[in-house]
Amino acid sequence: MKKELTTRKIGNAIGVIFPKDFDLDESMRILATKNDTTITLDLYNARLKKAQKLIENDFAQIEQEKFVTDANLKSKFGKYGWGKNR
């Protein structure tokens, strides 16, 4: 995907505002490489860290037993028919 972006002055630096469909998160660390006429942004490490954080959050929820099981749903929603067809 190619999009034309506009630079903005941010304090004493120059920044770029990325469109939402670039799926970037605040404070992502992006590797930038500059050649004569191009700047390449590498999101591999940023995506890896995002996936790692999601996995860590999932494991934390499992440790805190903040997950849903079929038994939980059956006990909570059995009166509405949950689990009758299983």
pLDDT tens by residue, 22-37: 888 887 788 899 999 9
Does this model's pTM top 0.85?
no
What percentage of the chain has pLDDT greater than the value 70? 98
pLDDT tens by residue, 45-60: 767 777 888 898 888 8
Buried b (16+ CB within 10 A) or exposed e, 35-61: eeeeeeeeeeebeeeeeeeeeeeeeee
Sequence spans of domains, the chain: 7-76
| Residue 86 pLDDT class (50, 70, 90 cuts) | low
Average pLDDT of the chain to the nearest whole number: 85
Can you give the chain as a three-state secondary structure string? Answer: CCCCCCEEEECCEEEECCCHHHCCCCCCCCEEEECCCCEEEECHHHHHHHHHHHHHHHHHHHHCCCCCCHHHHHHHHHHHCCCCCC
